[in-house]
Copies of this chain bind each other. A is one copy, B any other.
């Protein structure tokens, strides 16, 4: 005997999410069945809305309800700095930090030739166009993850835009605050020593 069709379908849907296997999906589906109807309807509506109401900002690629996004259209933000990040989630992380008031550019990925992701597949072209149009930009901060793909994407972008006379920087690498030197990996330690600062 199979599960009744509606619950089998819900299990299938949960299984499409990352890190959720059949057992967890089944548990979640049965749990959802016992949730208050309003909660389930809200959940369904939120899923539809997230696809329908959100789009990418035509300027920076950030996820937004309005276009251009709240950051690009904010006249108070410092237009001389553009921080290049991999994902919209990274924008949120820096905004929550609260000390950066420049603009962003979201790549929606990193170069990864092994996975068939070249410069055309991510948001690099729009960055170049944007820098050519925008005289105000003076510094580009490459805030990409320090994975091999992130590093090589940073190198690639740096080579493209440096000739235009822009200042190109990347985030400091070193020991995470609160971490143990004992457990830091070799490359992190090397970067921490190379980038040491005077007290």
Q: Measuring CB to CB, which residues of chain A are less than 8 angstroms from any residue of chain B?
A: 1, 3-7, 9-10, 12-14, 16-19, 24, 26-33, 35, 37, 39-51, 53-54, 63-65, 70-71, 87-89, 92, 95-96
Contact = CB atoms under 8 A, between A and B. Distances in A.
Contact of A7 (B37, B54, B70): B54
Contacts of A14: 43
Given A18-B28, A31-B17, A6 B50 contact: yes
A40 to B, nearest CB: 5
Contact of A10 (B4, B32, B50, B89): B50
Nearest to A9: B46
B63 A4 contact: yes
- Which 5 A-B residue pairs are closest in the complex by CB-CB distance? A1-B95, A13-B43, A44-B44, A10-B46, A6-B49
Q: How many copies does the complex hold?
A: 2
Nearest to A91: B1
Name the residue in A5, A7, A39, A96 with the highest tally of chain B Cβ atoms < 10 Å from its Cβ: A7
A22 to B, nearest CB: 12
Contact of A40 (B1, B27, B47): B47
